Amino acid sequence: MKKLFFASLWALACLVVACSDEKDEPNDESGSIVGEWVFQRNEYYRNGKLVDSFTAVEEEDKAIAIFREDGTYRYYDFPPEEYYDGTYSYDEMSGVLTTDDGVNEQTCLTEITVSTMKWIYDEGDGEVLVEYYSRK
């Protein structure tokens, strides 16, 4: 009887130790660009040094980017006042994202996980703009 009790206790202890709360761990698995993304902050670098940054604290500072499976996107400020609709292409292997709203075509390097997206714009002359988004 004691053996059965200790075996059950051991099994319970193993289950408790083996289980983890995945919500506490950041998920850095690669993810799809398709979905709704909320602007969080940007950082501006000159020659590798951070020279300026902005964090969206107020709701009106949080722009929204929606990427659809059909290759179209919408980018707008919150609350929605002005929309930018267009097309996009994203190469998962190289991480290159190209957007075209019919007026401007922009290209940036993109890093996407299940919950975050980062756009990296090389502005030339050692200047880089990095924008951070989270999945809505």
Residues 26-82: pLDDT tens digits? Answer: 567 888 999 999 999 999 999 999 999 999 988 778 899 999 999 999 999 876 778
Q: CB-based burial of residue 33 (10 Å sphere; 0-12 exposed, 13-18 middle, 19+ buried)?
A: middle
User: Does residue 16 sit within a domain?
Assistant: no
Percent of the chain with pLDDT over 90: 66
8-state DSSP, 61: G
User: Does residue 119 sit within a domain?
Assistant: yes
Check residue 10 and give its pLDDT: 41
Measured CA to CA, the distance from residue 68 to residue 27 in angstroms comes to 22
User: Does residue 49 sit within a domain?
Assistant: yes
Say which residue, 32 or 6, is predicted with more confidence.
32
User: Does residue 95 sit within a domain?
Assistant: yes
Q: Which of 70, 109, 103, 62 is nearest to 84 (CA)?
A: 103
The domain containing residue 110 runs over which residues?
A: 28-135
Domain count, the chain: 1
- What is the mean pLDDT of the segment spanning 109-124? 97
User: Does residue 106 sit within a domain?
Assistant: yes
Check residue 99 and give its pLDDT: 97
User: Does residue 131 sit within a domain?
Assistant: yes
User: Does residue 10 sit within a domain?
Assistant: no
Q: CATH number, domain at 103?
A: 2.40.128.20
